[in-house]
Amino acid sequence: MYSKFESPFSTRYASDEMQYLFSADMKFRTWRKLWIALARAEQAEGLDITDEQIAELEAHAEDINYDVAEAREREVRHDVMSHVYAYGVQCPKAKGIIHLGATSCYVGDNTDIIIMREALRLVRAKVINVLALLARFAREHKAQPALAYTHLQPAQLTTVGKRATLWMNEFLMDLGELDHRIASLRLRGAKGTTGTQASFCELFGGDSEKIKRMERRIAAEMGFDAVVPVCGQTYSRKVDAQVVDVLSGIAQSASKFGNDMRLLQNFKEMEEPFEKHQIGSSAMPYKRNPMRCERICALARYVITDSVNPALTASVQWFERTLDDSANKRIAVSEAFLAVDAILQIMLNVCDGLVVYPKVVEARVMAELPFMATENIMMRAVKKGGDRQELHERLRRHSLAAAKVVKEEGGKNDLIERIAADASFGLTMEELSEIMHPALFVGRAPEQVTEFLEHDIDPLLAQNRELLGAKAELKV
């Protein structure tokens, strides 16, 4: 095993559930389900297919004789016909009706759609669990004042919980796109070699109603409300591009979260979980690197870049189809899902163990708050009889002097002490301390957190209660 390349998605990143969805076993079992659905539908619409033949197909739906299929493929170089042959070996009575009227894309493309839908559902469940963990965190810290940043420079105050709602809102947007894409997916159906259903016209004597009913039966058996209205040999490759665009959106949201957390860990305000025996650096034993969030950002970058692949593939399909899509899409689409699955696994782990250091958060707030409080201080002084214009100028001078102490001398922000010592303001240190309470500067942030959770998140979590409680296991 050490002499061949192994994908990190299998060994380090993606969950067993997501890996199975893109496994050979999932693919070939689904092929057999589609062949059974085709046979049932054709029988129901009058073709000479017996119950005994269908029962034989059903009896061997799961026990795939891979050795026979692989030996046959080495001989004929065609995966679908190799599996048709292998299925026929197990089902001699049904051998003649397997894949009847179908082209390779009947099993190939329909299976791709089915797998993508199941994978999107798995992604959806994990996004909902991320939202649940962040909701718990936001509710707990909704009133904890914290520095907000614009241009990565201290701006006004926010709260720790309010910042978490910004992360949540982006994942909520992604969830809307996920739900739309899942609801929009349609089976390719049984369209024949170039999408004209000519082979089925031959089988059903040109009876269009029977052909349409056959497709509806297949779709229903595979859990779909409809098939695509028209296609060539394949479903439109724009579908892959649209699906991976959704995954890219999730990667973008996760990367935003990961980058914010990396910065906050540098500020020592917040940290991702750090295990008891975890080593942060081979050379610096004291280090606590944000390795989980760094991995989120790294994988997100991969997914965002990978989303170009299906878009380019969709743009270069010639007429009813070309085969230059196959090698690319089997890598690009599957790895986008595996990477997003890994990202969400890490997100679940991080969000379940977020650490906040309130004293550090408060200290960083208080270091900047004197500058932010100047307008409130000026208004209080004006109420006590001060001249607004004169006070403004004095505040400007005091602020510059205090900033110089901080930046050039490395000292403490002494703006409040300067104002207390200036008789023009007529304010005592006690009065200034009242003005300097951080909670007075967070606006509606705590209320916004409550409103967002109660209006947008709690109903969603209640509707998806059966999905909650996903466990996050990091392989390495």
- Decide if pLDDT at 471 tops 80: no
- Decide if pLDDT at 80 tops 70: yes
Tell me the sheet residues that pair with 291: none
Q: Which of 391, 347, 114 is nearest to 253 (CA)?
A: 347
Q: What is the pTM of this model?
A: 0.92
* Residue 18: per-residue pLDDT: 97
CB-count exposure of residue 134 (10 Å: 0-12, 13-18, 19+): buried
Annotated catalytic residues are 151, 281
List the domains of the chain with CATH numbers: 17-97 (1.10.275.10), 374-435 (1.10.40.30)
Confidence of residue 476 (pLDDT cuts 50, 70, 90): low
* Residue 27: per-residue pLDDT: 97
Q: Which of 1-5, 173-177, 466-470 has the highest mean pLDDT?
A: 173-177
Confidence of residue 277 (pLDDT cuts 50, 70, 90): very low
Query: Rounded CA gap, 435 and 381, in Å?
Result: 11
* Residue 328: per-residue pLDDT: 94
Enter the tokens of residue 331: 């890598």
Q: Which residues of 228-249 are buried (b: 16+ CB within 10 A; e: fewer)?
A: beebbbbbebebbbbbbbbbbb
Q: Which of 448, 474, 460 is nearest to 129 (CA)?
A: 460
Query: Rounded CA gap, 405 and 420, in Å?
Result: 17
* Residue 33: per-residue pLDDT: 98
Enter the tokens of residue 454: 């109660």
What is the number of other CB atoms lying within 10 angstroms of the CB of residue 225? 11
* Residue 235: per-residue pLDDT: 96
Residues 35-67: tens digit of each pLDDT:
999 999 999 999 999 999 999 999 999 999 999
The one-letter amino acid at 457: I
Contact 101, 169 (CB under 8 A): no
Query: Rounded CA gap, 437 and 260, in Å?
Result: 26
Query: Rounded CA gap, 189 and 77, in Å?
Result: 25
DSSP character at residue 355: E
Q: Which of 309, 334, 335 is nearest to 324 (CA)?
A: 309
Enter the tokens of residue 204: 């059903």
* Residue 279: per-residue pLDDT: 46
Query: Rounded CA gap, 239 and 181, in Å?
Result: 9
Residues 335-392: tens digit of each pLDDT:
999 999 999 999 999 999 999 999 999 999 998 888 888 888 888 889 888 889 998 9
Residues ≥6 apart with Cβ < 8 Å to 364: 146, 147, 267, 269
Question: Got the DSSP string for 121-147?
Answer: HHHHHHHHHHHHHHHHHHHHTTT-EEE
Residues 125-154: tens digit of each pLDDT:
999 999 999 999 999 999 999 999 999 999
Residues 324-342: tens digit of each pLDDT:
999 999 999 999 999 999 9
Percent of the chain with pLDDT over 90: 78
CB-count exposure of residue 395 (10 Å: 0-12, 13-18, 19+): buried
Q: DSSP strand E in 123-277: where?
A: 145-150, 153-159, 270-271
- Decide if pLDDT at 285 tops 50: no
Confidence of residue 1 (pLDDT cuts 50, 70, 90): low
Q: Tell me the pLDDT of the chain averaged across its residues.
A: 93
CA angle 411, 417, 418 (to 5 degrees): 95
Enter the tokens of residue 300: 């997100």
Residues 399-422: tens digit of each pLDDT:
899 889 888 998 888 888 988 888
